[in-house]
Amino acid sequence: MNQPTARYTGPAIAAHWLIAILILAAFPLGLYMHGLPLSPNKLKLYSYHKWIGMTVLLLFVPRILWRLTHRPPAPLPMPAWQHKIAEGTHHLLYLLMFLVPLSGWLMSSAKGFQVVYFGVLPIPDLIGKDKELGELLEEMHEVLSWSLMTLVGLHLAGALKHHIIDKDSTLRRMLPFGK
């Protein structure tokens, strides 16, 4: 097919890839640090994980505002069911980009571990310390994180399917370099 099509805007491309990199760093870090014994290194990794999550949350706001005020390029021709799946996946990705870091922030608050952004800026707790709620929020954070990674995998599979099998420009119009 290889038809020419409009690219996403520079800010949309930059936000997409920056948030993708942060999410793809936070998830394996979360898995790794969770199993470590309590130590100064574990606490340092938890801080890094929280900083990444808060950065995703902070970047989410301008990203969603950009998306709401700037129309993306028209979708390429595809069966209606594929378009519906792509659209639903994008909506769920946006929702989870918000809920995963928010649930982590709520969990930290409930467990009594304030988030200190980059070690210098204390972020206010959203709720008071509550052990049972902290455990529930930890489970919620894990479920949401796995859900996000599953959707990221589906999103990647869809982009690769369009690039390799359909040979269309779906992926190329979101790549940071190229025409």
Q: Is the pLDDT of residue 179 over 90?
A: no
**β-pair type (116-117, 121-122):** antiparallel
Q: For the chain, give the mean pLDDT.
A: 92
- For residue 78, the model assigns a pLDDT of 87
| Per-residue model confidence as pLDDT tens digits over 98-155 | 999 999 999 999 999 999 999 999 999 999 999 999 999 999 999 999 999 999 999 9
CATH number of 10-174: 1.20.950
Contact 71, 27 (CB under 8 A): no
| Domain boundaries, given as residue ranges, for the chain | 10-174
Separation of alpha carbons 123 and 134, rounded Å: 17
Only one residue has tokens 């979360």, namely 30
